[in-house]
Structures are given as structure tokens and as C-alpha cells.
Structure 1
Amino acid sequence: MRVEIWSDINCPWCYIGKARFERALERFPHRGDVEVVHRSFELDPRAPHQARPVVPLLAAKYGMGLEQAEAAEQGIADNAQAEGLAYVRAGRDAANSFDMHRMLHFAAEHGRQAALLDLLYRANFAEEASAFAPGRLVELAVEAGLDGAQAARVLADRQAYADAVREDEATASAMGATGVPFFVFDRRLGVSGAQPADTFTAALEQAWESRTVLTPVDAENAAGACGPDGCELPQR
């Protein structure tokens, strides 16, 4: 069985949702027969490549004060920490993620996609230094087990793996995905948002046992998701 996960490195709920899904997968009896594939989804394809502080971005996007934006970040941090994830709230930044997605496709060809994705999430949400700093992406690629010179060439060639990223995004759009994380089980069952682990357990069981047309699970009540208009903010 194949599970495809559409996500963006800028999306904190993708970071959290991945942990919740993996907790469900760990206790799934057929986990050895489940292939997990990570797909690209840019929350803001027009975002500048220059990193900008997250808190002012949140304040501007939602029309709130800086204190409210800081409280929203703390709420997301609380959710992450409840899953055992490190989350650096102060000083976090964001930027265009297209190059990260291209590098993830390069990593997939070499069997290192999952390792690189974990490192990208760690760099963006759990470390003080910016994940978008010059040279950082190649450093992370090397840490994931990829050849540094090859990774640098991929990064320098703006067309390398660009079509693969766009294809992922087009597929997500065709399936009706408007935000991430978005989980698709054997192209038959869809789960939107960073749902509780029990929801992912139920989806794994249903997808394993059934052969139905793609059915959204809790699509109208997606829990913890990011979309073009921003990320869901925890209620305080």
C-alpha cells in the first residue's frame, strides 16, 4: 500500500502531522507493506527567497498584533511539543521553499528523501539558525547522505526537478487539495490536516481493507492545516 503525503517545509502542521501519522504507522500491523512517498506542495509559490521573520508575517496575514502572533506561534509550539517534537518559537523565519522541494525530488532518486525531509523540518522548526541561509540546503543534503557536489549542481540549475515539483502540485490540485498536510492512501482515501493518530490508524485500516473511490476523511473539519491563506491558529 502506498501513502502519499503532500506537504511544505514552511508548514508547521505538516511537521506535526507527519509525527502523528508515523505514530499511527508504527502500530499498524501491516506497516512493513506500506510505502510512504512525500510530495511537493508550495503554500506560497510567490514567496521571496530572502528569509523573513515568521511572527511579523503571521501578524500581517491575519491582521493581528505582534503579541497575538507570538501567542499563535506558542500554540503551534505546544502542539509540536505534545508530539515530542522540538520547536523553536522565537526568531523562526520563512522563505520560498521551491528549491527545498527540488532537492527532495533529487534525494528521492537516491533513496534519501525521508532523511532529507526530517533534516529540513528539524532545521526549520527545531534549530536557531535559519534553514534558508545560503549554503544550508546543500549542507543538509550532505548530512542526509547525498553527494554535495551533485546537490550543489541541482541547486544551481533552476530547471532541475522543477517539473517534478509542478507535477506533484498539479496532482494535489486535481484531487481537490487546497492545503497541507494532505495524505492519500492508495489513491483511494484522503485525509486532510494534522489529524490525531487514531484518525490515521483508521485510515490505514480502511485503505488496507477496501477498494473504494477516493473519499475525503474529515475534509470539512480539517484539523491543523496550512493553506494559501495561512495556517490554522490554535485556540488559546
Structure 2
Amino acid sequence: MAAAPTTIRVDAWSDLACPWCYVGKARLDKAIQRLKLEAGFQDTHIIVQWHPYMIDLQTKSSGEDYLAYNRRRWGSDGWTSSLRRSAAKDELQFKDWKWWPNTLNAHRLVLLADTVGKGGEAKQELFKMTYEEGLNISDMEVLCAAADRLGLSGAREYLMSEKGKEEVIKQDRSAKSERNISSVPFFIINGSYSLSGAQDSTTFEKALQKVANM
């Protein structure tokens, strides 16, 4: 077997108002952890670059009540039963899901966190707040609390300004129009191998192995 590359890059598009994106991240993380234990991959650096994507641009800027949003979009929240069953296999509980957030400002916070190498941590923190802690990440105070947990200095001033808004919108449009991404999560490994949806962790692991051996 050829030696694994020293670096594997995963570009990931997801929305924080996307429960399957929460599941997809957990499964990708699990795959990366397992791969790093395999012979030949211990020294491989796997970089995951998170890109903003906003599924529903019509979501109220202050976010919407969980059930009210589901009724508006799909008539009920019945579809979430299969989601929750699937996610339970990955120890995701969705134990306190109260809001469907507008994610423009949350994506801005992820971009800020990424400048200090904490983009993935910010993603995870905001997912946890949304689906496990019953918090509304459309709210600036909630985002500031997330920034404090992450140790991001200057986050309040950044969030209260317009910084990062144009970049989020630009990347969202680019994903949809230039890359033709119509659903998330969506992943591209080393710029050549793509995966769509919250694949199981074994599928992610095999994809990473395949790209590593190309």
C-alpha cells in the first residue's frame, strides 16, 4: 500500500439549521478518529474546512419556533422521527430542540472562529446549543455566549458589526450557483471525491482511504 498523504483536506458545506448536517458532522468526526488509528495514517493531518450554506433564506431573522416552522414547511414534524432514530446510533439525542434558527450570524461566528483554527469547534458548539440545549442561535447573546465558550476575543464587537455578512452570502451563493450544491451536508475530499448527505461513518472512512491511496 502506498504511504498515506501527509494532509487530506475535506471541504464541507452545511447549515447549522440542518439536523442532518449535525448528524453528518458526527459521522465524519468518527470516521476521522478511526482512520487516525490505522497503520499508515497516524501522521496524516486531516483538515476539515467548513463552508456556510443557508437552506432556507426565508427563515425569520430572529429564528422560528421548532413546531411552527415544521408545520409551515412540511405540515408537521413527523419526518423527524426517523432522523432521531438514525442519530441515536451516533449518540446524538436531540434532547432539547426548540428553535429553527436563521443562521446568517451563526455562520459569521464560524468564519471568525476559523481564523484561529476553531471553525470545527464552533460548528460543534452551535449544533449542540441548537439541538441539545434548546437555545436559539439566531440570538446575538446566545452567539456571544458561544464565543465565550470558545475563547474568541472580540467576538461581540465583530457580531454587532456587519463584518463577515457579505462573505457568508457570497459563499452561500457560490455553493448553490457555481458548485450546484442543492442539499447539505456535502463533502469534497482533496478536491476530487464528493459525498452527499449524512453518510454512515464507515462510508466516510472508506472514502478517505480511497482518496489517500489515489
Amino acid at match of 1:22: D
Partner in structure 2 of residue 186 of structure 1:
190
2:98 aligned with 1:92: yes
Could you say what secondary structure the match of 1:75 adopts? helix
Q: Deviation per CA, 1:117-166: give whole Å up to 9, x if none.
A: 1110000000133333341101101101111xx111111112x1123323
Partner in structure 2 of residue 4 of structure 1:
11
Which of 196, 206, 209 lines up with 1:205 in the alignment? 209
Q: Is the 8 A contact 2:147 2:155 kept in 1?
A: yes
Which of 14, 22, 25 lines up with 1:18 in the alignment? 25
The verdict on how the C-alpha distance between 1:131 and 1:53 changes in structure 2, with shifts beyond 3 A counting, is same
CA distance in 2, matches of 1:157, 1:107: 16
What is the TM-score of this pair, normalised by structure 1?
0.79
Q: Is the 8 A contact 1:104 1:113 kept in 2?
A: yes
Amino acid at match of 1:93: W
CA distance in 2, matches of 1:4, 1:171: 14
2:110 aligned with 1:104: yes
Identity %, equivalent residues: 23
Deviation at residue 168 of structure 1 after TM alignment:
2.6
Could you say what secondary structure the match of 1:172 adopts? helix
Partner in structure 2 of residue 117 of structure 1:
123
How many residue pairs were aligned? Answer: 201
The verdict on how the C-alpha distance between 1:209 and 1:175 changes in structure 2, with shifts beyond 3 A counting, is farther
Q: Is the 8 A contact 1:45 1:98 kept in 2?
A: no
Q: What aligned pairs does 1:13-92 form with structure 2 within 5 A after superposition? A: 13-28=20-35, 29=38, 30=41, 32-62=44-74, 64=75, 66=76, 69=77, 71-88=78-95, 92=98
Which region of structure 1 is more displaced relative to structure 2, 29-38 or 135-144? 29-38
Let me know the Cα RMSD of the aligned residues: 1.8
Q: Is the 8 A contact 1:112 1:146 kept in 2?
A: no
Q: Is the 8 A contact 2:31 2:202 kept in 1?
A: yes
- Gap runs ≥5 in structure 1: 211-236
Partner in structure 2 of residue 163 of structure 1:
166
What is the TM-score of this pair, normalised by structure 2?
0.86
- Gap runs ≥5 in structure 2: 1-7
CA distance in 2, matches of 1:168, 1:78: 32
CA distance in 2, matches of 1:121, 1:40: 14
Partner in structure 1 of residue 175 of structure 2:
172
CA distance in 1, matches of 2:29, 2:94: 18
Which of 133, 139, 157 lines up with 2:145 in the alignment? 139
Q: Deviation per CA, 1:74-118: give whole Å up to 9, x if none.
A: 3322222220113125x5111210001111111111222122111
Partner in structure 2 of residue 195 of structure 1:
199
CA distance in 2, matches of 1:203, 1:171: 25
